[in-house]
Amino acid sequence: MASVAREDLGLAPGRPIEFKLESLQYSGTFKARGASHFMVRNEIGPAGVVAASGGNHGAAVAWAAKVRGHDANIFVPTISSPAKVARLRSYGATVHQIGAVYSESLVASQAFQADSGATSIHAYDHPDVIAGAGTASLEFVQQTDGLDTMLLACGGGGLSGGAAVAVGGDVKIVVCEGQTTNAFSAALEAGEPVDVEVSGVTADALGATRIGGLAWAALKAAGAVSALVGDAEVMAARQLLWDALRVVVEPAVATTVAALTAGVYVPAPDERVGVVLCGANTRTDDLS
């Protein structure tokens, strides 16, 4: 965890911003929590596990499977970054790059599961996965003097949905998305989960074409609000995190900081704000 002066982020003075560095978690993202929780709560058969992912959930499942001695077959779309695919293979997973987007990889993984009998671990729409993800936000509140607001990146909603379940009654949840990876924002507008087209720099991690049903219910009950940011704002925020903190994150993760630096979410001076930096499976050669 890190406490950063607002001025260092180019923001108006006020209470420091608290950062939780889930980017340093096992497998490089918060998703190690959900994958591990699923595996200790469910019996895994001899065919091992299968998962579809933009890359990060797959890496978490592959890591957790390696630790527990299970085979892992991971399905990722062709837009997954080479850094994520390399990490998957480093854990001994069999990687299948199928489909242009996550939803197409999910269909392929479901066909594999039906043929093989492997245990499927959904990236975000399973109670054990969401509960595991929620421990990050619960821990964050416990590590600080309490938070009024928490900003979290959102694709299918595992992290933000878990936060809504764990701390949503006490902490305002700000769901941060790219303008072209906006499953939660679209659901808010429609009043229910709807399909969206995904593209842009955040698509490899926030590429779910529809918010998960469990996450949607939790976020709606918690009164979560949406913050949408553009690709240029995301990349500027990612560079700022490197310049100011020497912290490397994925573009998708930088949506949280971009929401602040672009003025999409403006906290009050005395507001206790926490930002979850949830993943770092990314290239670094584009950081100046």
- pLDDT value of residue 16: 97
| pLDDT 10s digits, 4-21 | 999 999 999 999 999 999
Cβ–Cβ < 8 Å for 60, 122: no
Helix (H) or strand (E) holding 221: helix 213-222
Q: Provide CATH 3.40.50.1100 ranges for the chain.
A: 2-28+127-277, 32-120
Q: Determine phi and psi for 275, rounding to 5 degrees.
A: -125, 125
| pLDDT value, residue 219 | 98
Q: Is the pLDDT of residue 33 over 90?
A: yes
Average pLDDT, the chain: 96
Nearby residues of 243 by Cβ (< 8 Å), 6 or more positions away: none
pLDDT of residue 1: 87
CATH topology (fold) of 32-120: Rossmann fold (3.40.50)
C-alpha 98/C-alpha 105 separation (Å) is: 5
pLDDT at 97 over 90: yes
Among the residues of 69-197, which ranges form H helices?
82-90, 102-116, 127-143, 158-167, 183-190
Determine whether domain 2-28+127-277 maps to CATH 3.40.50.1100.
yes
Please give the model's pTM, rounded to 2 decimal places.
0.94
Report whether pLDDT(84) > 90: no
Query: Radius of gyration of the chain from Cα atoms?
Result: 18
Please give the structure tokens belonging to residue 230.
Answer: 């553009």
Note the pLDDT of residue 81: 85
Determine the average pLDDT of the residues in 135-157. 97
Q: Which residue(s) pair with 50 in the sheet?
A: 73, 120
CA distance 141 to 88: 31
